[in-house]
Structure 1
Amino acid sequence: MAADLPRRIDAPWLKEPARARVFAALAEAGFAARAVGGAVRNGILGLDVEDVDIATPATPQQVIAAAQAAGLKALPTGIAHGTITIVVDGIATEVTTLRHDVETHGRHATVAFTDDWAQDASRRDFTMNALYCDADGTLHDPLGGYADVVARRVRFIGDAVTRIREDYLRILRFFRFNARYGEGEPDADGMRACVEARAGLARLSAERVHQELRRLLLAPRAGAMCASLYDHGLLSLVLGRAPRVGRLERLIAIEAMLGAEPEFVLRLAALAVAVPEDALHLQQRLRLSNAEAQRLLHIASTPRWPEPPDDMSAKQAIYRQGATGYRDRLLLSWACRTDAADDARWRTAAALPADWTVPRFPLSGADAKAAGIAPGPAMGEALARIEQAWVESGFSLTPEALRTRLSSGS
């Protein structure tokens, strides 16, 4: 145990009544219960906590009985692997029996239950995920994870190659955790193990790779860790395409200049999309949603601006492509510039969707009908032609002028 380990943490989630009732239910039934993993790690770092997982020597059946005795709802969501979900006031907490791996084969190992906390800790991936705390925040650190959390050091538990062979997704998790929680260069032993085991990436399902890549691309050090993946020959194995890490790094720098929130699809496009075929490839490779794939395809099919668009060109693009399509085009055009510095012209163009109200085309089918055009394809074509003239005029043609053009067929 690290010498400087504090006695306890003071995390906000420890004070949540719903969590306290789960701890109390297990305690009243005579079982120890400790929060484990991300909630403890993030509590030490002062980061937000989304989910709280609890470990206990109680068997799944004993957990269910304890919850029911306390009047709580218990769901056997992963009972084969020892996990019961207890729901209190709409808040779900996963409670998992202490376990050790009997056989590993990817995402879910064959496990046996145990009452040995150290054995449970040793089966986890990184030392920073093998920290436990009691309901009062008292810390338990069987593997020295606290020192690694404080040092922002992502380190595999035990032999790194062994941990990775248990689940090859841990290669991507190593880089994602470094992007989210790490500082400086990744652990050398972990890096060597990832490179040694890289062939195992081909065994992973598209859905699991997608989920991990999404988290990586949205992490604070996404650019640096994608560059590291690339430098070690791993990123092309993940994407099945030659990555463009420099473009991603420039996009991230631009987002920081603008104070913009990162978006998975836009960052993925910067990293791996140049032509429509790339978008179609990634749709299959990562099992993207239809909306994500369509957005990638639109990005790939839209020409880049070599220079910042002038005011009217930008407004016409917003009108035709919508604010999201315009923003995608603009930021990627900017990121394609190898000199993507803080340029006032690009900044002005980026601010336009928030500063400009998109006008509404003033004519409708009723105007076309009044001009003697029968409903059908001809009416649609006529209105589209007049709308294009209106857009090209800088939205300045009046309704009267547009109706005159419609009537004259010009």
Structure 2
Amino acid sequence: MTSSTRKLPDLSKAKWLNEPRLQSLLAILNRGGETRIAGGAVRNALLGMPIADVDLATTFVPQDVTQMAKGAGFGVHPTGIDHGTVTVVARGATFEVTTLRRDVETDGRHAHVAFTNNFAEDASRRDFTINALYLDRKGKIYDFTDGYTDILKRRVRFVGEATQRITEDYLRILRFFRFFAAYAKGAPDRAGLAACKKHKAGLDGLSAERIRQELFKLLAAPRAAEALEIMAKAGILKHIVPYTDQWRVIKRLSPDPVLRLFAIASAPSTLKEKLRLSNDEAQRIEGLMASPELKSDFTAKEARAKLYEMGVQAWRDAVQLSWAKGRAGKADKAWSKLLKLPDDWPVPSLPISGKDLLAKGFGPGPDLGQVLKQAEAHWVASDFKATRDELLNFVESQKV
């Protein structure tokens, strides 16, 4: 491992680092041992990007972390204790604390680890150099893999030898493209891309849940379309999902993983099972499969009727997808108006129900449902202006 030869920034004044709950926990976990912030928080701080989660790496074993944190009145949950991780809740703030580790055995999907007290050894088992930086409580950065140079170059590069990192866990192939899509500039690292291409078949043995988690993060990233196209050309994407080459559409869509997934999927009906989608995600896919391609020249009345028929989520999804597939610009007023319609016109509910029809003397059964549908169609045709009384008079007129 080689340390960075560049002068590393001083983050001692960073507001997020000096957050009282974080500093309180770091103070506790630096008594008789050493604990540093690791990975994503350090990377994002150096990139000037928002910091969502702060993860800690420590020389203490989980049992000691638990005892010390509880002794300070913090909550502790053994969320990944087999791999050395506990979650500490410090006055409402949540931190994952993981004991420094080294790999003992890997099989391409899981790693058996042993604890260590050596930060450089811990860095050597991480995936990418930009994720292998550490920061102590006083703002000093520790860089064992020259990750800072890669941050300055906006380059995603494997720690050590790419093939070794990949064969330890084949999910790192997908992570390589996910981090490329999120953080990189220019072309992918050549050695990393070549190793991903060589070992792409290893993706076939991974669980759908792990694939889905990384794929959704990739799909939400700024350079998702470019990453997916590179994966397709390298023969990698087909090991993730059957796809079409809708790269232009992906670029024009909002960074919504479900929408972008549907846009590239050649067999969307298989996605729920293949990727173990949640019920909500699967319902959106089903809605998109059932939705027609929309046009932007709806009259206001036609648009309201269509929105009512489809529902808010399906409408928004179909508008975005139809807009992205067309030629209109991102600032097109007609499409923008359609997309905002659910905000400007809250979808109303039919003012009458089956109980009202029963009260009017209609008998229960299929005929009742048919009359209610006729009333609903009459209401929609009135541009939703027919009142409750007018609808009840309408159903009276339908009696034979």
CA distance in 1, matches of 2:341, 2:175: 38
Q: Distance in 2 between matches of 1:7 and 1:347?
A: 45
Which residue, 163, 166, 188 being the options, matches 1:164? Answer: 166
* 2:23 is aligned with 1:20: yes
Residue 9 of structure 2: aligned partner: 6
Instruction: Name the amino acid aligned to 1:346.
Output: W
Shift of 1:354: 2.0
| TM-score (norm: length of structure 1) | 0.89
How far did residue 71 of structure 1 move? 4.3
Spell out, residue by residue over 1:260-293, the C-alpha distance to the aligned partner (whole angstroms, 9 max, x if none): xx322222222216xxxx3330000100011211
- Identify the residue that residue 151 of structure 2 maps to in structure 1: 149
Report deviation, 1:65: 3.9
Q: Contact 2:6 / 2:149 at 8 angstroms: preserved in 1?
A: no
Superposition deviation, residue 219 in structure 1: 1.3
Residue correspondences, number? 395
Residue 264 (structure 2) pairs with residue 271 (structure 1): yes
Q: Look up the equivalent residue of 1:386 and give its one-letter code.
A: A
Deviations 1:336-376 (A, max 9, x none): 32x24343322232232222243443333354245431233
Trace 1:221-260 onto structure 2 (pairs within 5 A). 221-251=223-253, 255=254
1:39: how far off?
Answer: 1.2
Moved more, 343-352 or 109-118: 343-352
* Equivalence for 2:212: 210
Corresponding residue of 1:354:
343
| Rounded Cα–Cα distance in structure 2 between residues aligned with 1:24 and 1:141 | 22
Aligned to 1:194: 196
The answer to whether the 8 A contact 2:284-2:313 is kept is: no
Structure with more of its chain in helix, by fraction: 1
Bigger shift: residues 84-93 or 172-181:
84-93
Q: Identity over the aligned pairs, expressed in percent?
A: 46
Residue type of the partner of 1:204? Answer: L
The CA distance in 2 between the partners of 1:224 and 1:319, in whole Å, is 36
In the alignment, which residue of structure 1 is the partner of 2:121?
119
What CA distance in whole angstroms lies between the structure 1 residues aligned with 2:70 and 2:373?
65
Structure 1 unaligned spans of 5+ = 256-261
What are structure 2's unaligned runs of at least 5 residues? none
Between the aligned partners of 2:336 and 2:178, the Cα distance in structure 1 is 30
Tell me how far apart the structure 1 counterparts of residues 104 and 195 of structure 2 sit (CA, whole Å): 22
1:407 aligns with: 396
Change (3 A) 1:140 1:241: same
Does the 8 Å contact 2:225/2:247 carry over to 1? Answer: yes
Change (3 A) 1:190 1:409: same
Report the equivalent of 1:137: 139
Query: For the structure 1 residues 127 and 379, does the alpha-carbon distance in structure 2 shift closer, same or farther, using more than 3 Å as the test?
Result: same
Asked if 1:291 is matched to 2:280, the reply is: yes
Quick one: distance in 2 between partners of 1:72 and 1:363? 54
AA aligned opposite 2:28: A
Give the partner amino acid of 1:368: L
AA matched with 1:391 = V
CA deviation vs aligned residue, 1:47-88 (integer Å, no higher than 9, x gap) = 222222222222333333433444444443333322233332
- Give the stretch that moved more between structures: 122-131 or 41-50: 41-50
- Shift in CA distance, 65/321, structure 1 to aligned 2, threshold 3 Å: same
Which residue matches 1:319?
A: 308
Query: How far off its partner does 1:400 sit?
Result: 5.3
Q: Which amino acid aligns with 1:266?
A: L
How far the C-alpha of 1:17 sits from its partner, in A, is 2.2
Distance 1:333 1:64 in 2: 52
The answer to which of 17-26 and 237-246 deviates more is 237-246
**Partner Cα distance (1:281, 1:249) in 2:** 24
User: Whole-Å Cα distance in 2 between the matches of residues 163 and 181 of structure 1?
Assistant: 19
Alpha-carbon RMSD: 2.2
Please name the residue that 1:61 is paired with. Answer: 63
Q: Give the Å deviation of 1:37.
A: 0.5
CA drift of 1:306 comes to 4.9
The equivalent residue for 1:84 is 86
Q: What is the alpha-carbon distance in structure 2 between the residues aligned to residue 308 and residue 218 of structure 1?
A: 30
Distance 1:23 1:399 in 2: 64
SS of alignment partner, residue 17 of structure 2: helix
Partner residue in 2 for 1:259 = none
1:49 pairs with one of 48, 51, 55:
51
Q: Give 2:329's aligned residue.
A: 341
Distance 1:243 1:236, change over 3 A: farther
